[in-house]
Chains A and B, each alone.
Chain A
Amino acid sequence: MASEVVMPKLGATMEEGTIVSWLVQVGEEVEEGDPIAEIQTDKIVMELEAEADGVLLKTLHDAGATVKVHEVVAYLGEEGESVEGLGNDLSNLAEAAEDETEQPMAETPAQNGQQTRTGEKIRRTPAARKLAEDNHVDLSEVTGSGPLGRIHKADVESFMEANEKRVTPLAKKIANDQGIDYKEIDGTGMRGKVVKNDVIGRPVAQQEVAREAKRVPFKGMRKVIADRISESAYTAPHVTLTSEIDMTECVTLRGKLLPVIEKVEGMRVSYNDILLKATAFALKQNPALNVSLEGDEIVYHPEVHIGMAVAVPEGLVVPVLRNVDEKGLATITRETKTIGQKARDGKLTMDDMQGSTFSVSNLGMYAVDGFTPIINSPNSAILGVGRIQKKSVVVNDELAIRSMMTLSLSFDHRIIDGAPAAAFLTELKEVLENPFKLMI
């Protein structure tokens, strides 16, 4: 009896997941606990594990498909078990829906839902490989007809036949005579056939080859980020306040704290850590900034959980540091370093990224002074941090060289007014310029 494999609900707020790739081919055996597929959810990728021993009988969605939680994505069962009727209705529905919203990914349908690829490794016979190589055919585009999707010579041949440029004999002759590559021409005849008129008037033997733009499917993490950024930018009216902070005291403080914290945690305290501590302090003093809009209620969060934007190769993640206001700098240093590494290694869990009440985006390592950050919803405010730079400023009516930094605070003007936002930023400036206040 086939058992269902469903899209797991990996976090309290997860509503759907995207199948990044199938790690097991239809027909392959799996043991309980083996990863079957990679699932991308709200900013993370996790493995979907088999809950029983068996053979993957059928998959209902191709890689790239987005599926609601608890919906069936595949069936496990005994080898040779009939898959007739399994999930037919569902897959038809899903395919129909997909057709309306998204372009189908593959032009040639995979036979019986079998995928030829296991990661990058393609099952193909030596003869198929040689034929493909000789004819510059990309085997990843060929559908295999053999067991487990193995590509045979005949598959490559039919692929080549299907992809052969259709051209009329006359057009071909003219093209050859004039040294025109008719394969490059988009034909205007039946099914893209190149006809005489397509060839005539073409510049003779054009040497220039158009350089092709790299095209990456807009999906996965990129899509998640895009949706969330758009949602925030277009629903929350953003206002950004900036303030220049004299960081000289903080520079001195960090210099003194470096060896101390390094001794305790074995890690180096950064300006970002001090900034997080100061932000938490200021948030505690200004609870009007530590809020979210949930439906028709404004929620004042009792805890200060700060989301920290971390750039990763695929985009951006915002892991959350909890109860920052209650923690000392040594602990904050350890936690930021640990969670930052986890983010860069792609090992963040759903819990690592949920529940922030405020976010900080630090571009201080770049030549950026101020910017207008977009709020990380469901937060209502975000602090953008610029670089620290020595500047000549007036201190006590005299010119002095001080380490200056610009903070940019974006807030959701629907629920936060200008005055409390300004008060928060002023408080933050005050504490950063007099960091001993963090002792309070």
Chain B
Amino acid sequence: MKEITYLEAIRESMSEEMRKDEDVFIMGEDIGIYGGAFGLTNGMIEEFGPERVRNTPISEAAISGCAVGAAMTGMRPILEIQFSDFIMIAMDNIVNQAAKSRYMFGGKAQVPVVIRLPGGSGAGFAAQHSQSLEAWMAHVPGLKVVQPSNAYDAKGLMKAAIRDNNPVLFYEHKLLYNTKGEVPEEEYEIPLGQADIKKEGSDITIVATAVMVNRALEAAAELEKEGISVEVIDPRTLVPLDTETILASVKKTSRVLVVYEAVKRGGYGAEIASMIAESDVFDYLDAPIRRLGGLETPIPYNPVLEKAAVPQVEDIVEECKKLMNK
């Protein structure tokens, strides 16, 4: 075991795959000598050279088309979109081309592209650089959506994403880049579609994604002191979604709180909540399914307001107490 950051874990995962598979290459804006906006690709151009670490023009439309085209013709590109917000410009290439090609060509075409998307708020980047729009992507059949919450998951999931023959949207949370976690020395992969129980508990199931997993764990520790036992589940991938693990937990605890940073209205947490309500586990619910999500506002630049716009630890604690009628 070694302790590395979330950011290093992603770099390590990409580098390991690039060493093994010549078809894997990375591309993005300023990812060469500059090392990317967050320094994630630091040192990669030195190891793999400018052919496999490709600096691109600042045009998400162009570079996403390029990556999707490269994937269709046999390469396994990893495209970095500097901020996940900029995916808007690349929408047609992702939604209309990447997501549809395999289906429309009866399986003869494959689009093994990974699109890395630094997302989320909390780093003071204001409204156009802080969004959580993963629900848009999860809505489109043909796309897989990944949201790791720690270094171990990030590395293992990136492996699976690179090896997957379908387009994978890989959402990285900016606030998590410098969080450290234990990662095995040896090779491992985390299959897409496998949720992880981050903490076991018996009173409430919290299904949380990305940075909210960490906040849920903090909240759980606090609630433990008051005798409320919280189970924290991280789906890790939104598509495919591991419904089995979530439902088994809800059946056990009979109460659910879904926590996500994206705007609550229409966020992916709504999908999780509906899935639970429609399932056989309905009979075991002992309280309404609750969601905690972002406010319906652009993310403010003011750091106090920025914090207030998305769920914090104390919000989760309070919501859990409500669920327990306390």
Contacts and interface: CB of A to CB of B under 8 A. Distances in A.
Interface of A: 125-130, 145-147, 152-154
A125 B325 contact: no
Contacts of B283: 126-127, 129-130
B325 A127 contact: no
A-B residue pairs, 6 tightest by C-beta: A127-B286, A153-B286, A130-B283, A125-B286, A126-B285, A127-B254
Contacts of A126: 282-286
Q: Which label, helix, strand, loop or mixed, suits the secondary structure of the A interface?
A: helix
A158 B288 CA distance: 21
A154 B284 CA distance: 12
Contacts of B284: 126-127, 130
A153 B254 contact: yes
Interface in B308-326: 325
B275 to A, nearest CB: 15
A126 B254 CA distance: 9
B287 interface: yes
28 contacts: A125-B254, A125-B285, A125-B286, A125-B287, A125-B288, A126-B282, A126-B283, A126-B285, A126-B286, A127-B254, A127-B283, A127-B284, A127-B285, A127-B286, A128-B286, A129-B283, A130-B283, A130-B284, A145-B325, A146-B287, A146-B325, A147-B325, A152-B286, A152-B287, A152-B325, A153-B254, A153-B286, A154-B286
Given A127-B254, A146-B287, 9 more contacts: A125-B286, A125-B288, A126-B285, A127-B283, A127-B285, A127-B286, A128-B286, A129-B283, A145-B325
Nearest to A128: B286
A145 B286 CA distance: 12
B286 to A, nearest CB: 4
A154 to B, nearest CB: 8
Contacts of A154: 286
Nearest to B322: A147
Interface string B284-306: 11111000000000000000000
**Residue of B282, B283, B286, B287 ringed by the most chain A CB atoms within 10 A:** B286
Nearest to B288: A125
Nearest to B283: A130
**Residue of A125, A130, A154 ringed by the most chain B CB atoms within 10 A:** A125
A178 to B, nearest CB: 37
B204 to A, nearest CB: 13
B253 to A, nearest CB: 10
B284 to A, nearest CB: 5
Contacts of B325: 145-147, 152
A129 B254 CA distance: 13
A128 B325 CA distance: 15
A139 to B, nearest CB: 14
B281 to A, nearest CB: 9
Contacts of B285: 125-127
Nearest to A153: B286
Interface string B262-293: 00000000000000000000111111100000
A126 B250 CA distance: 13
Contacts of B287: 125, 146, 152
A50 to B, nearest CB: 28
A130 B282 CA distance: 10
Nearest to B277: A126
Interface in B230-286: 254, 282-286
A128 B254 CA distance: 10
B255 to A, nearest CB: 9
A112 to B, nearest CB: 13
A128 B286 CA distance: 7
Contacts of A146: 287, 325
B92 to A, nearest CB: 44
B257 to A, nearest CB: 15
Contacts of A125: 254, 285-288
A393 B232 CA distance: 95
A146 B288 CA distance: 11
A218 B282 CA distance: 41
A122 to B, nearest CB: 15
A125 B282 CA distance: 9
A254 to B, nearest CB: 64
A128 to B, nearest CB: 7
A286 B237 CA distance: 96
Interface string B176-195: 00000000000000000000
A408 B20 CA distance: 112
